[in-house]
Structure 1
Amino acid sequence: MIVAGFGFQSAATAASLRDALSETGSQTTVDAIATIDDKTCAKGFRTLAADMSLPIIAVSAPALRKQVTQTQSAASQAARGTGSVAEAAALAAAGPGAKLLAPRVKSSDGKATCALAIGEGA
C-alpha cells in the first residue's frame, strides 16, 4: 500500500494539499491519504479525499511520535513531537516496516506538506 501523508496549516485548501502531493514528483498511484487524527476533519483534507476517491487514515499522536523521519522541522517537532507530520503519518499509516518513497515537500503556498511511504506488502 502506498500512502500520502500530509501535514498542513488550518488555512490549507484541497488545492494546497494537491499541490504538495504533486511536488513529491511521484507518478505512483496512491492508495490512501493520512494525517494526524485531529486534522482528518479539515475541509481541505476531506475534499481532497473525496476528489481522489481515497480513504483517510487517521494517525494518533503517539503513533506519529514513534516514527523516525528523514527531514526535521523545528515547528513540527515543537507542535507535534515529530520532525515531519507528513513523513510520520505516511510511515505510520503504511504499516510496520514501511519506507519513504518521497520525503516531505511543501506546497507552493507553504500551507501543506506531503510525503509518500510504501508498506512492506506492496
Structure 2
Amino acid sequence: MKVAGLGFKKEATLASLREALVAAGGPGGLAAVATISDKADAEVLKQLAHECGVPIKAVPADVLASIETPTQSKRIAETFGTGSVAEAAALAAAGVRARLIATRAISQDRTATAAIAEGDGP
C-alpha cells in the first residue's frame, strides 16, 4: 500500500499541495493521502484526494508524535512531537512495516510538504 503523507499550513493552496506531491514522486499508484486528524477535513486536501481518486486517512496527533522521521523540523517537532508531519502521516497510514520511499518535499511557497511511504496496509 502506497500512501502520500501531507503537511500544510492553513493558507496552502491546491497548487501547493499538488506541487509538493509531485516533488515527492507524484500521485501514481497511491492508495490514499494522509495527514494529521485536525487537518483531514481541509478543503484543499479534499480537492487533492478527489483529483488523485483516493481516500483521506486521518492520523491522530498522538500517533504522529510517536513516529521518528528522517527529516527534522524544529518547529514541527515542538508543535507536533515529530520531525515531519508528512513523513509521519505517510508511515502511520501505510501500515505494518511501512518505509519511506520519498522523504519530505516542500512546495516552493513553503506552505505544503509531502512524503510517500509503502507498507502492508492497516
TM over 0.5, shorter chain: yes
Cα deviation for residue 65 of structure 1 reads 1.1
Q: Which residue of 2 aligns with 1:8?
A: 8
Aligned residue type for 1:54: V
Aligned residue type for 1:117: A
Matched residue SS, 1:93: helix
Aligned residue type for 1:73: S
How far, CA to CA, are the matches of 1:59 and 1:26 in structure 2?
21
**Which 4+ runs in 1 deviate beyond 3 A?**
25-28
Tell me, yes or no, if structure 1 residue 63 matches structure 2 residue 49. no
The two structures, once aligned, show a CA RMSD in angstroms of 1.3
Gaps in structure 1 of 5+ consecutive residues: none
Task: Summarize deviations over 1:68-113 as a string: whole Å, max 9, x none.
Answer: 1010001110111110000000000001210000000101111100
Q: Which residue of 2 aligns with 1:72?
A: 72
CA contact (8 A) 1:26 1:102 kept: no
How far, CA to CA, are the matches of 2:41 and 2:118 in structure 1?
24
TM-score when scaled to structure 1?
0.94
| Identical-pair percentage | 50
1:100-119 alignment to 2 at 5 Å?
A: 100-119=100-119
CA contact (8 A) 2:25 2:116 kept: no
Aligned residue type for 2:38: D
Gaps in structure 2 of 5+ consecutive residues: none
How far, CA to CA, are the matches of 2:20 and 2:81 in structure 1?
22
